[in-house]
Structure 1
């Protein structure tokens, strides 16, 4: 999978905070949809109301757990992106359009996956692109994508599992980014391996000085 959005976002000042503003979030999502269309040949219709609901749902859920961000900032950025992905999957703001006759995608390597689940691919690519841009901007690090993201069988499992529990999207994003997924309670920051390591043996409330 190509990280399409990174180069578009990395030059945006204070990207991490900009993406927590509705205007920038929506604009970035539309940019990613355009890039996916140009690269893979599938167009999308975006419902702005559903996209706004996804954004507001994400802000609410991430704010409820933001105290954990200081324990492992890098891990929390990935977790926050997973929460975005979860809300996008819940709200389904994008709808794939039929391929245009004669359209020639630039990249055919992901054709099976994009055709299998175009909306899921769009949402996931958006979140991975945002993570990659933030890591490059804030830490000077390039994020790599695990090879499982190029395997159709992984996407079959991904789509099947999120149909039962949308929060599994967080675990799959971790998997794609080479992290250790938490399959039991993927939407709870304190259950993540990196956060638990930072907390040591103490309870979350003790380590954080009370929530």
Structure 2
């Protein structure tokens, strides 16, 4: 089972609020490397990280956040809850991490063994999200058990290959949210009432 608490404590220290630090490439890069090393040690896998791809994902994510940031203060927490799903989307678009070999310390039928790169990217987003929500809102984050469910990861990888926006929806499901599967990476669309769009919460076919 993914150990969220251990991963949070493994993040690089910073004197700045995490909401600020995560928007700076040097901290984002250091945090991703640290998380990949922690995961690699846990599952018995070496990873190579392409820092050019990582920086590209970071820049695209910041641009997306700035374009979607709501003006209303009442939506601040909801936006904080939404933003990490955009990080995962950009990481999956051009995956910056590659496993050197199959993980040796986990069940071959586990989620981590099935897609180690996707598992590291997803748990990285969960880790930074949990640390930020605790700091900003004193809020504990509960991750769905589907984070270790192989069937969910099969669906995630298959659907993300066809539509990268699915990554955002998958992340939202991990937090117990109901994505708008028509536009899971659009904050305004996600926050609309279910009555506004027919079948908004119906997942796409596998």
Report the Cα offset of residue 110 of structure 1: 8.8
Q: Does 1:36 align with 2:39?
A: yes
- Say which is worse superposed, 109-118 or 56-65, in terms of deviation: 109-118
Q: Where do 5+ consecutive residues of structure 1 fail to align?
A: 202-211
In 1, the alpha carbon distance for the partners of 2:146 and 2:138 equals: 25
Q: Does 1:87 align with 2:85?
A: no
Q: Which residue does the alignment assign to 1:59?
A: 62
2:180 to 182, 185, 210: 182
CA contact (8 A) 2:70 2:79 kept: no
In 2, the alpha carbon distance for the partners of 1:11 and 1:31 equals: 11
Report the Cα offset of residue 74 of structure 1: 2.4
Report the Cα offset of residue 8 of structure 1: 2.8
CA contact (8 A) 1:68 1:76 kept: no
Q: Which residue does the alignment assign to 1:7?
A: 9
Q: Which residue does the alignment assign to 1:207?
A: none
4+ residue runs of structure 1 moved beyond 2 angstroms?
8-13, 67-75, 108-111
Report the Cα offset of residue 47 of structure 1: 0.5
1:148 to 124, 146, 149: 146
SS in 1 for 2:48: strand
In 2, the alpha carbon distance for the partners of 1:110 and 1:62 equals: 36
CA contact (8 A) 1:69 1:76 kept: no
Report the Cα offset of residue 40 of structure 1: 1.4
* CA deviation map 1:165-210 (0-9, x unaligned): 11111110010011121111011110123xx36xxx9xxxxxxxxx
User: Where does 1:27-176 land on structure 2 (aligned, <5 Å)?
Assistant: 27-67=30-70, 70-99=73-102, 105=105, 108=106, 112-176=110-174
SS in 1 for 2:10: helix
Report the Cα offset of residue 129 of structure 1: 0.3
In 2, the alpha carbon distance for the partners of 1:126 and 1:136 equals: 16
Aligned residue pairs total 191
CA contact (8 A) 1:175 1:181 kept: yes
2:189 to 164, 168, 191: 191
Report the Cα offset of residue 43 of structure 1: 1.6
In 1, the alpha carbon distance for the partners of 2:93 and 2:32 equals: 16
CA RMSD, 1 decimal: 2.1
Higher relative contact order (CA 8 A, sep 6+): 1
